[in-house]
Amino acid sequence: MTAKTAIELGNVQITLLLPLWGRAVETEKAKPLLKDETAVRIIHQVDYDFSRLAQTVHDITRFEWIVRCIHIDRTIRAFLAKHPEGTIVNVGSGLDTTFDRVDNGTLTWYDLDLPDVIDLRRKFIHENDRSRFIACSFLDESWFREIRVKENILFMAAGVLYYLEEGQLKAMMKKMASAFPGGEFVFDACSAVGVKTANEQLIKKIGLDESSYLKWAIQRADQLRGWGVEFEFIEEYPMFKHMKKGLTLRNKLIATLSDHYKMMYMIHLKFGSRFPSHNDLH
């Protein structure tokens, strides 16, 4: 029997295993919406009991992880159609494998995460000349110096930003807008109800403590306009939009209610060409 790889991560980082497991489960279906053979390989190599997830994670939660991937993949492909040599930065990459699905042969890719997560990532996923890892906190802007941009840049964050305090994210968005004018950012967001539901129905149920709780909530994307960051909205749409086919009647109802109340949704924005002055904010 092949020895399994031990996991030594904090509670917040442990949550990176959730979407990994979700993608593996989806891949092994007869007609998967998304295929991720790397996820299947990793969950069989990691020394972690995934059976508890199967018992506690609701089907609609796992489905949400999959449709989030589909939305982000679509956004990246559209970006690369305009910028074939574009740069993608995967914020809080964990054990994500988006690069494998969207690589066009000319893009430049960076997976950014905390040092302990990158150490774990290196055990299963390898860098190459166009796909590199950066071991750094998202909140430490020193990683900006590692990024090389040929055409334009797109940042992606899947299941990451709502673990931050609003003040932390606001400060970081300002720095990103200043350092990468014209760059794009696609990410998922939660309403306050969505954050509360996720903490009660997922984080607590799988046995993680309050350090793993989601924090940042935003009811609608235009609330970002008060952050002092110049940008334009490209898209804002509910998580399950056009994604309910194949769900049970009960799960379709849950997805419809989630979309109606914007419990989970996607935001795609573009940073402006200049940083707003003091007078712009008043």
pLDDT of the residue at 11: 61
pLDDT of the residue at 232: 92
Check residue 4 and report its DSSP letter. Answer: P
- Provide the CA 104 distance to its chain's centre, in angstroms: 20
pLDDT band at 264 (very low <50, low <70, confident <90, very high): very high
- Nearest residue to 206 (alpha-carbon basis) of 80, 77, 44, 50: 50
- Cα distances (Å, whole numbers) of residue 234 to 23, 184, 268: 27, 9, 5
pLDDT of the residue at 282: 34
Grouping H, G, I as helix, E, B as strand and the rest as coil, residue 141 is helix
- 186 beta partners: 156, 268
More reliable by pLDDT, 280 or 39: 39
Ranges of H-type helices in the chain: 11-14, 17-27, 37-45, 51-56, 59-82, 98-102, 115-122, 166-179, 192-198, 249-260
The sign one gets for the Cα dihedral 9, 13, 14, 16 is negative
The sign one gets for the Cα dihedral 176, 183, 99, 259 is positive
| Helix, strand counts (H, E) of the chain | 10, 9
The structural domains of the chain, ordered by start, are 59-281 (3.40.50.150)
CA dist 139 and 163 (Å) reads 12
CA dist 193 and 214 (Å) reads 11
Contact by Cβ (8 Å): 116, 10: yes
Q: What is the pLDDT of residues 28-77, one digit of tens each?
A: 999 999 999 999 999 999 888 888 788 888 899 999 999 999 999 999 99
Grouping H, G, I as helix, E, B as strand and the rest as coil, residue 113 is strand
CA atoms within 13 A on the CB side of 145: 5
- What value does the mean pLDDT take over residues 273-278? 44
**Residue 281 confidence (pLDDT) above 90:** no
Mean pLDDT over the full length of the chain: 90
Instruction: Write the single-letter amino acid at 16.
Output: L
pLDDT of the residue at 279: 38
This prediction has a pTM of 0.92
